[in-house]
Structure 1
């Protein structure tokens, strides 16, 4: 599936699917509320893969953020969506996936006025093989950072708004390998595990 044909799942206020729309055409100053996810990849030594979005991205180009993010395709479960994006965006294979912030949602406006408005469950992925192969159309740079470095990034303007919001909720949970499994009950009705 190319970025030009990718569809997003539109949501109502109860987080139920109400339709689909083309991904690229839907992101603008009045972006509809839709389904997404964020993933933090954690190495065996506890470091986290932090990425910088490609400079060619339509929304929030060049900002530093978590390991990967994306949009579940219509009918695609969260687990499959995360595994798909880890493979295509970073060339990584997850050993485990754990929902850590299943209820996360946010709204943020980019400098150019583009709105992001997403129900965006957050997942931790663990990997044994830490050799990332970033897809240049998606990722400008990818680096393994300590948790302390990740926390420091949340205080800097070059980080994505959703990263800052997520870190505010993740920091109280402790180090990434200690984040508890939040279960799947908090996922939106529109999204299966």
Structure 2
């Protein structure tokens, strides 16, 4: 597996090829990704503020972790790997849904992702990688919704797309 390569896909998430991550983001090509959302027993969501020097969206608040599976790696395995690498823990994850989004950034890079969304529950110790995470915390869904409404510029593009869908999934039935 090459950690610097990602999986290009079509609109049905069928693999087409692999490409170096930066090149895929420069060209804005659709690729496979995942986003992990974590809740605690108090029904609060874990958010992280991305490290300032991330290649895009540095310093913005987002879900627990997100990344790309490597060629040959199952998406759920990649989600567990990345949760451990970024936040220093792992927990059971349930796949909730997928969505596609397209966002261009000031630095010339473009995210065009077929995003697999996972949800987990965790209440233990968190030991984030400082090169990935500037800060983190658990917040109520109401507080997150208020912050996204009042200061949307403080959040990643994909979080603002996924959060309402996650919130809807978490509503008592």
TM-score normalised over the length of structure 2: 0.90
Shift of 1:111: 2.6
Question: Which position in structure 2 is the counterpart of 1:33?
Answer: 30
Question: Which position in structure 2 is the counterpart of 1:122?
Answer: 117
Q: Verify the 8 A CA contact 2:141 2:167 in the aligned structure 1.
A: no
Shift of 1:8: 0.5
Question: Which position in structure 2 is the counterpart of 1:185?
Answer: none
> Which one of 86, 90, 94 corresponds to residue 89 of structure 1?
86
Question: Which position in structure 1 is the counterpart of 2:153?
Answer: 157
4+ aligned runs moved over 6 Å, structure 1: none
Q: Is the alpha carbon distance of 1:172 and 1:14 closer, same or farther for their aligned partners in structure 2, counting shifts above 3 Å?
A: closer
Query: Is there any run of 5+ residues in structure 1 with no aligned partner, and where?
Result: 181-193
Q: Verify the 8 A CA contact 1:154 1:167 in the aligned structure 2.
A: no
Instruction: Quote the RMSD (CA, aligned, Å).
Output: 1.9
**CA deviation vs aligned residue, 1:96-151 (integer Å, no higher than 9, x gap):** 211112x211111123332100000111011231x211111111111111111222
Aligned length in residues? 171
TM-score normalised over the length of structure 1: 0.81
Query: Is there any run of 5+ residues in structure 2 with no aligned partner, and where?
Result: none
> Which one of 111, 120, 130 corresponds to residue 106 of structure 2?
111
Mapped partners of 2:29, 2:57: distance in 1: 17
Query: Residue 148 of structure 1 aligns to a residue in which SS?
Result: helix
Shift of 1:15: 2.0
Q: Verify the 8 A CA contact 1:151 1:171 in the aligned structure 2.
A: no
Question: Which position in structure 2 is the counterpart of 1:144?
Answer: 138
More strand by share: 2
